[in-house]
Structure 1
Amino acid sequence: MGGPSRWTFTFTIFILAITTISVQAGDNNHVYSPCRDTTVQRDDGFSFGLAFSSKTSFFLNNNASVQLSPCDRRLSLSTSSSQIALFRPKVDEISLLTINASSFSPDSAGGYMVAFAGSKYAARSPPTFVANSTHIVTSFTLILEFKQGRLQNLFWKRDGCASCKGKSKFVCLNNVDCAIRMNDCKNRGGSMDCSLGIQLAFSGTDKHYSVLNSWYEVQNLRQYSLFGLYSNLRKSLTDQFSNFF
């Protein structure tokens, strides 16, 4: 893989069972690189990446109709300011992935994000806006869709701006994304935690044809304001994590 020039350290929080879980426990998937193909079953670990760069850098020769995976050496991510975060969530668990804003500036990396995994069967999400010099989007939902255990698609699920109504520190961008003004972020002198939070869920079937249900669970739980739950939990665990350093 022609990797980007810098790597961002990340950690994963499993919402449904807040315990320390060894990646080997119940994990029969021994492919750890996000740029290799694999098939998985429920409870396996699954490695994928998030690449942060400019929107045009994810397309072959700036051709807007040919999007390549960040694993593809034909992209010039390794010679730009791009950054990559790697994750290994547990298949079919609802997870919250976080990236600490104190050590990461998505606007300086290019402002857009693509989720990716695989090689011959490379899957990649459409580029989604994260940040520019004035605003940052901090909450995302990513769905990993499998067929017989092989990843088919990654796509971002958007719910408009419902979660930021009535919140003075948030603005609605293009009637699609809730965003925070950059000058309100802690790392820019403000009071807001602008760490990225990616809610992750699974759909489709594993290699034993078992149905992956976590996406349907997320849909059913939306009435209970998962956005607020994850935001509060992320702040609590991020604060505890920071105390170790």
Structure 2
Amino acid sequence: MKAATAVAVVVAVAVTLGMVATLAEAGDNNRVFQPCADAKIQRGDGFTFGIAFSTRESFFFNQTQLSPCDRRLSLASGANAQLALFRPKVDEISLLTVNTTSYPAVTNGGFMVAFAGRKYAARSLPAFVSNSSYTVTSFTLVLEFQKGTLQNLYWKRDGCASCSGKSNFVCLNKQECAIKTSNCKSANQGGSVDCSIGIQLAFSGTDKHDAVLNSWYEVSNLQQYSLYGLYSNLRNSLTSQYNKIF
């Protein structure tokens, strides 16, 4: 079963250093476009991966977390399951967004898992996104490769310095900033803030030629919202909307 048939597809946008990522950008030699297939990449390739949104328990089978590509999971029949697909350029810092205003079902399940591959199936731990009280809108995801094969996807936490002293945010578990869900604009809420998800993406490890992927070292020196100014040139950024309610 391909991931795109396992869960419903939602609108997703990838912005890569000011350019909208395309499926066949010049210099892209990776012909694997399905997230549930194995790819061996080099710097400059596009790389397809997915993020599945559902309840935390739906990502587990017999108490073991499986890839959303695994047929043993119940994502295909889960009413809250949604899928966002991305194809960023390898080793470039990207800002990925998922529109939760038009597609509020993305946050109904409450958690998301990033994944790619089949034989070398890799998946992140479930990351909390939203419940009736709080919604997290900003994340950092690192894709780790070894000789061009994806080994791991993991969420990086950078604490709550960016929302310190802001009354409309809370710090969850001393790890991440969350906005009150009642402030969010969606089909289920009457708020004024677009709580679409922003994911800052970076790469680490080595490609198939053993070239070192450096974008993680670059993004680790940037603040959590450093790419939102770039994104605001294409549509209203989350930051600008947050400022309206402070």
TM over 0.5: yes
What residue number does 1:218 align with? 219
Q: Deviations over 1:7-58 (max 9, x none)?
A: 101110112xx23565231000000000000100000000000000111110
What residue number does 2:241 align with? none
DSSP-derived class of the 1:141 partner? strand
Letter in 1 for 2:107: D
What residue number does 1:70 align with? 68
Gaps of 5+ in 1: 241-245
Letter in 1 for 2:75: L
DSSP-derived class of the 1:102 partner? coil
DSSP-derived class of the 1:171 partner? strand
Letter in 1 for 2:231: R
What residue number does 1:7 align with? 9
Contact residue 100 and residue 107 of structure 2 kept, 8 A: no
Which deviates further from its counterpart, 177-186 or 81-90?
177-186
In structure 2, relative to structure 1, the CA distance for the partners of 1:135 and 1:117 (3 Å cut) is same
DSSP-derived class of the 1:233 partner? helix
Contact residue 101 and residue 194 of structure 2 kept, 8 A: no
Contact residue 107 and residue 133 of structure 1 kept, 8 A: no
More helix by share: 1
What residue number does 1:231 align with? 228
Alignment of structure 1 residues 153-172 onto 2, 5 Å:
153-172=152-171
Contact residue 21 and residue 87 of structure 2 kept, 8 A: no
Equivalent residues, number = 230
Alignment of structure 1 residues 83-162 onto 2, 5 Å:
83-105=82-104, 106-108=106-108, 110-162=109-161
DSSP-derived class of the 2:76 partner? helix
In structure 2, relative to structure 1, the CA distance for the partners of 1:216 and 1:46 (3 Å cut) is same
In structure 2, relative to structure 1, the CA distance for the partners of 1:37 and 1:232 (3 Å cut) is same
- How far, CA to CA, are the matches of 2:197 and 2:214 in structure 1? 24
Q: Which stretches of structure 1, 4 residues or longer, exceed 6 Å deviation after superposition?
A: none
- How far, CA to CA, are the matches of 1:37 and 1:77 in structure 2? 21
Question: How many percent identity over aligned positions?
Answer: 59
What residue number does 1:57 align with? 58
Structure 1 residue 219 displacement after superposition: 1.6
Structure 1 residue 136 displacement after superposition: 0.5
What residue number does 1:34 align with? 35
- How far, CA to CA, are the matches of 1:160 and 1:212 in structure 2? 25
Which deviates further from its counterpart, 87-96 or 97-106?
97-106
Contact residue 29 and residue 46 of structure 1 kept, 8 A: yes
Letter in 1 for 2:119: K
Letter in 2 for 1:145: E
Structure 1 residue 166 displacement after superposition: 1.9
CA RMSD of aligned residues (A): 1.6
- How far, CA to CA, are the matches of 1:54 and 1:45 in structure 2? 29
- How far, CA to CA, are the matches of 2:194 and 2:232 in structure 1? 8
In structure 2, relative to structure 1, the CA distance for the partners of 1:71 and 1:133 (3 Å cut) is same
Structure 1 residue 185 displacement after superposition: 1.4
Structure 1 residue 239 displacement after superposition: 4.1
Gaps of 5+ in 2: 238-246
Instruction: State TM-score, norm by structure 2.
Output: 0.88
- How far, CA to CA, are the matches of 1:185 and 1:113 in structure 2? 18
In structure 2, relative to structure 1, the CA distance for the partners of 1:5 and 1:120 (3 Å cut) is closer
Instruction: State TM-score, norm by structure 1.
Output: 0.89
- How far, CA to CA, are the matches of 1:20 and 1:49 in structure 2? 17
Letter in 2 for 1:19: M
Letter in 2 for 1:201: A
